[in-house]
Structures are given as C-alpha cells and as structure tokens.
Structure 1
Amino acid sequence: MTGTKPSEAGLEATVAEVLAELAALDDPRVREVNERHGDDHGVNLGHLRALAKRLKTRQDLALRLWETDDTAAKLLAILICRPKAFERDRLDAMLRQAGTPKVHDWLVNYVVRKSPHAEDLRLAWSADPDPVVASAGWALTAERVAKKPDGLDLGGLLDVIETEMKAAPERLQWAMNTCLARIGIDHAEHRARAIDIGERLEVLKDYPTSPGCTSPFAPVWINEMVRRGA
C-alpha cells in the first residue's frame, strides 16, 4: 500500500472484504438457475439486498465494485450508488459494460430512470444500432408512455413497433412489446390499434406463463390490465 492515501487504502480493503463476502454467498444451485437466464452469478438476491442495506449508500464503493466487472459486485454497486451522481457519458458507458441481462435491467430501472439524463439517454439509446442498447431506450420509452406521455408521438411509436418488432432480436423485441402493451393499457384512443398490431404480429403469443401470471402477449396483457382497471 506504499504511496496510497489512507482513505484509498480503506476503500480498497472494503472492496476486498465485500468481494470476499460475495464469494462466500455464492451458491452453485442459484448460479445454475441464473445461468439459464444469461446471468453468471450465484448470489441469492435477498442476500444481496441485505448486504446492500448494511452497506447503505456508498458512491465511492459502488464505483470500485462496478470496476471489478464481477456480476454480483455490479448488482451490489447498483443498489448502493447515488443515481443522480453519474454523468451522462458514464451511464452510457455503464450500460454498454453491463454484460448480463440482470445488470442491464437493474441499471436501467434503479439508476438511469432516476437520473437527470434519463430523457437524453432514452432518445440516444432508442436509435442505437446495438439492439441491447436500443432495448434500454425502449424500456425508458415504455415508462414514459405510462407515466409522462406528454410530448410522445404514440402513433409514431406504434408505426415503428408495427414495422420492426417482429424481426427484432429478443431483448429489443421484449422492450418494444412492453411499450406496445403500455400504449394499449394507458391510452384508450390507441388501444384498438395496439391490440390489432399484437394480434397480427403474434410476438410472445406462445410464451410460457405460470398460473396466476399475465401473459406478455400484448392483446392478452392489455385486455387483462384494462379489466383490472390498472
């Protein structure tokens, strides 16, 4: 540690301790299940959240954990970071470094959505040639459709979905389908068209759905949520 400031030495020690704790929490059975969904870690998410609660908000630690490129460490970093502290370009880089679906989803949902740069990134990512990056833009668009639709061209979004969703790669297709469903659920004037698009494209029509859960097939999803008054 020669030449290292005391505060930096303390941070590095904490990082090492946290990584050791994450390694101890790694469960081969959890890892096996996660790997089926593209996530390469074996830490139970309940245990991960409990660790985050104990650590509390630590932006300095979050940054160092993210830099380890360990999936469990990245998930923990997301839970203990300060979303509004990130610059726009840092968030863009982090999304491209996310690696696994769970890290990608948590980063968008827990960090980017709370950032003052969310709208700028939504626009940039939606048009990105990388379909995984574009899926983040569409996820943010789906949230705006539901919560802050003013200024959105909903008809234009349906045009793009109608043209591009069927052939889109899986993650992008899922995000576009979510946007389609949110338009149909939250905007009655576009509901019939949203349902028609879903019926014709048949995206996720045969997706396996557990008993008691709502199918992600847009026509079923829309009708069920409208029935519930959601």
Structure 2
Amino acid sequence: MTKNEILETLNSLGNEKRKQMYIKNGADTNTYGVLLGELRKLAKQVGTNHQLALELWQSGNTDARWLACMLFQAKELTMDEIKSMVSQVTYPALIDKFIGEVIFNHKDADFLAREWSVSEKDNLGRAGWELIALNISDGKQNHDELEEILTTVTRELQTATPGKQWAMNHALCEIGICYPMFTERCIKLGETLGVYKDLKVAKGCTSAYAPNWINAVVNKRKK
C-alpha cells in the first residue's frame, strides 16, 4: 500500500467521537479518530516498512503517525531524524507511543533520555522521562542511578510542566513497583509531594497518585 492509499483507508475508518476525544487530549486537528484496534490490524497487514513509515509520519496526521510507530525500523533512524520527530509532537499519547515502540530500542536511547529529561520544553521533557521510566521497568538502572532519579523527582516533580510531570511521576511509580527495597520510600515520597492526589479517576481505573498506583500494581502482582 502507498501512503495515499493508507491515508484514504484511515479516513474511511475515522470515528468522529474518537477524533474529538483525541483532540481534547492534545492531538492535532489533523486527526481521523481511528480506533487503535483498527490501526493494529492495518499495521499487521502492511508489515514493517521503514520508508512508508517515514512518509506517513511526514503527513502530519495523528493516526498516520501512530501507525508509523508500528512500521518503523528503529535502527534506521538517525539522531537528527529522531530529534526532529519528537520536537514535532505535542500529543502526550503519541509521544509515549513513539518512545515506547520505537526509541526505547534505539542504540542512542540512553543519550536521548539524558538530553531530553532536562529540557525545558514539555514534550521533550516527557519523552526523556518516559524513556527513564521504561528503563526502570526493564531493570536497566542500578542503585546509584535510582537514587539520582529519586533526588531529581523530589526536587522537581511538583513544579514540572504537565507532560514532563506525568512521565516523571511514572518513573517514581516504576521504581516503587519494580524495586521492593524502594517501595515504601516511593509511597512516602508520593504522599509528601501530593502530586495527582486530588485527580478524579474513572471507575475501574487506577489513580496516577503515586501511593495508589504503586500499591495497586504491587498488590495485583501478589495475587
């Protein structure tokens, strides 16, 4: 399939209610609102295709970029391409998708995590801290690195910009979940900082408030 054929397919699969939800959550208006299940089916049909993924990304369409994340060959992306792509995205869910699906396995992921995590730009800060959170959950951080992360979280979480704050809080929770020796400390730190304590959560969903998030996952894993 060509880029134009895929864009036509995405347009036909668009869902107006889902489109408005995506836009409300930060997506660009250049969005069709395709259900994620449909995007996964299409990705399976197309298969890995790096050049096509680049063309879909360059279209600027949210759904096309989401699909592209499932078609990229991460090792083929240059540092300049990656930096350009991330700088173009402000939709938090797409940032997380691109980081988790593509950049996490790139050879320069650790370098990018360090660079982006200290950025004053919210989208880059989120990208950097999401990489850190993924590294934590994958067991890639040693004790000293975890201590350094917690020091930064203690100092910056309350005042971080929204997207960066969310990913930084994610990192805090992953430490508490994945490293038992840090669990109680992370819960207490979450209580002290109080970030997301008053966040309203839909029925059946887990709160982003660190003590609740950590306890929910830890208790689930014990069952």
Query: How many angstroms apart in 2 are the aligned matches of 1:84 and 1:75?
Result: 18
One-letter amino acid of the structure 1 residue matched with residue 106 of structure 2: S
1:88 corresponds to 2:76: no
Query: How many angstroms apart in 1 are the aligned matches of 2:218 and 2:70?
Result: 33
Query: How many angstroms apart in 1 are the aligned matches of 2:220 and 2:150?
Result: 24
Match of 2:64 in 1: 73
SS of alignment partner, residue 181 of structure 2: helix
Structure 1 segment 132-151 matched on structure 2, within 5 A: 132-147=123-138, 148-150=140-142
1:207 corresponds to 2:185: no
Structure 1 residues 115, 151: CA separation in 2 closer, same or farther (over 3 Å shift)? farther
Given candidates 4, 23, 28, the residue that maps to 2:11 is 23
Structure 1 segment 52-201 matched on structure 2, within 5 A: 52-147=43-138, 148-150=140-142, 152-201=144-193
Query: How many angstroms apart in 2 are the aligned matches of 1:73 and 1:219?
Result: 36
Identity of aligned residues (%): 33
Superposed structure 1 runs of 4+ greater than 4 Å apart: none
Does the Cα contact within 8 Å between 1:198 and 1:217 map onto a contact in 2?
yes
CA RMSD of aligned residues (A): 1.8
Q: If the length of structure 1 is used for normalisation, what is the TM-score?
A: 0.87
Given candidates 194, 205, 214, the residue that maps to 1:222 is 214
Superposed displacement of residue 54, structure 1? 1.2
For structure 2, list consecutive stretches of 5 or more residues without a partner in the other structure: none
Match of 2:26 in 1: 38
Does the Cα contact within 8 Å between 1:145 and 1:152 map onto a contact in 2?
no
Which has the greater radius of gyration?
1
SS of alignment partner, residue 122 of structure 1: helix
Given candidates 34, 39, 59, the residue that maps to 1:48 is 39
Does the Cα contact within 8 Å between 2:100 and 2:134 map onto a contact in 1?
no
Aligned length: 218
Q: Deviations over 1:112-132 (max 9, x none)?
A: 012111111111111222122
Q: Deviations over 1:49-86 (max 9, x none)?
A: 21221111111111111111111111111111112211
Match of 1:8 in 2: none
For structure 1, list consecutive stretches of 5 or more residues without a partner in the other structure: 1-10
Does the Cα contact within 8 Å between 2:206 and 2:213 map onto a contact in 1?
yes
One-letter amino acid of the structure 2 residue matched with residue 154 of structure 1: L
Query: How many angstroms apart in 1 are the aligned matches of 2:19 and 2:218?
Result: 37
Query: How many angstroms apart in 2 are the aligned matches of 1:168 and 1:38?
Result: 18
SS of alignment partner, residue 225 of structure 1: helix
Superposed displacement of residue 151, structure 1? 6.5
